[in-house]
Amino acid sequence: MRIFVLDDDMQRIKWFKRAFLDEGNSVYYAHDPIEAEEMLRNNEYDKIFLDHDLAGADKPYQRGPKGDGIDLAIIMAKDKIQTDTPVIVHSLNHHGSENMLAALKDTHDKLFRIDFVLLRKSAVDEIMTVIENKMKPFYRGK
């Protein structure tokens, strides 16, 4: 499985690698929405994890120098990028997460939101169960 992660925090990136590489998956990541857009346009992924705040772990709720996850979500919706791929917003910023889901709701049917703290504490197989649509998504977007 090819997993894409947008996050500016290297500790989180390391967590994703530890959590998913053990299962034989490939984890690809970007630190900003510009790099992420290019990767999403040029490659197919099976799961997409997006963070909202991209200014650095030491600057929560501040806008990143190259934009935030919402900027990528708007582009993904406008240009219909990876519309069949499940998108999981894992930001600690609940308001930002909701804005991202709202931006994607008309073009992406498989939308999920999970706080990274809960994601980190959950077992990988439980996470994959949710992502594989065996459980009702948190937010359907319709």
Provide the whole-model pTM.
0.83
Q: Report if residue 137 sits inside a domain.
A: no
- pLDDT value, residue 71: 93
Rg, C-alpha atoms of the chain: 14
Residue 71: which CATH number?
Answer: 3.40.50.2300
Q: What is the pLDDT of residue 102?
A: 94
The string of pLDDT tens digits covering residues 68-80 is 899 999 999 999 9
Domain that holds residue 12: 2-131
Would you say residue 69 lies in a domain? yes
- Asked if residue 139 belongs to a domain, the reply is no
User: Is 140 inside a domain boundary?
Assistant: no
pLDDT score, position 57 = 57
Cβ count near 142 (within 10 Å):
7
Instruction: Give domain status of residue 122, yes or no.
Output: yes
What per-residue confidence (pLDDT) applies to 61?
Answer: 56
How many independent structural domains does the chain possess? 1
pLDDT of residue 116: 76
8 A C-beta contact, residue 126 and residue 114: no
Distance in angstroms (rounded) separating the CA atoms of residues 107 and 85: 11
pLDDT of residue 4: 97
Task: From 102, 114, 35, select the one nearest 70 (Cα to Cα).
Answer: 102
Q: What percent of the chain has a predicted confidence (pLDDT) above 90?
A: 44
Q: Which residues of the chain have pLDDT under 70?
A: 23, 56-65, 119-142
pLDDT confidence of residue 27? 93
For the chain, give the DSSP string: -EEEEE-S-HHHHHHHHHHHHTTT-EEEEESSHHHHHHHHHHS--SEEEE-S--S-TTSTTS--TT--HHHHHHHHHHTT-STTS-EEE--S-HHHHHHHHHHHTTT-S-EEE--HHHHHHS-HHHHHHHHTTSS--S----
Percent of the residues in the chain that have a pLDDT greater than 70, as a whole number: 73
pLDDT at 77: 97
